[in-house]
Amino acid sequence: MARPTKQGVDYFPIWNPHFRVEEKFWGEGRRSYKALRNSSSSFIKKDDVRSSILKKCNYKCVFCGSKSKLQIDHIVSVYQAFKDKRYIGILNSYINLQVLCEKCNCGKTPENCK
């Protein structure tokens, strides 16, 4: 993978909400997990995040190569990052996002299949 530029790692922290409000997720408990999950799922819906990650993965699923029903996926999941706070800072970053098709994402985290 090419070294990330302005559109990659260096660029994300500028508007990544977690670089500013990170500390609010350090508490245990359901409410802060929900807040982290909500802000992470709205983060990956942003057009510029989506297009940047699609481009990084050549517009196809990294598992099976499918080009239909593509979704942006957190490699270290929101739940894992919530459990292990070392990952909070990279959760919504260029390196932690990948493209999966609906089927592969579904297999990875069954709650996405509903």
Q: Where are the beta strands (DSSP E) in 2-114?
A: 70-74, 97-101
- Which CB, 18 or 56, lies closer to Zn ion? 56
Q: How far is the CB of 31 from Zn ion (least distance, A)?
A: 33
Residues of span 2-61 touching Zn ion by CB under 5 A: 61
Distance, CA of 56 to CA of 97 (rounded, Å): 9
Nearer to Zn ion by C-beta: 53 or 61? 61
Sign (positive or negative) of CA dihedral 13, 7, 57, 70: positive
Q: Does 101 engage in binding with Zn ion (CB under 5 A)? A: yes
- Which token pair is 4? 């990330």
Is the Cβ of residue 63 or residue 79 nearer to Zn ion in the bound state? 63
Min dist. Cβ of residue 74 to Zn ion (A): 16
Ranges of beta strands (E only) in 36-96 are 70-74
Chain residues in the site for Zn ion (CB under 5 A): 61, 63-64, 66, 101, 104
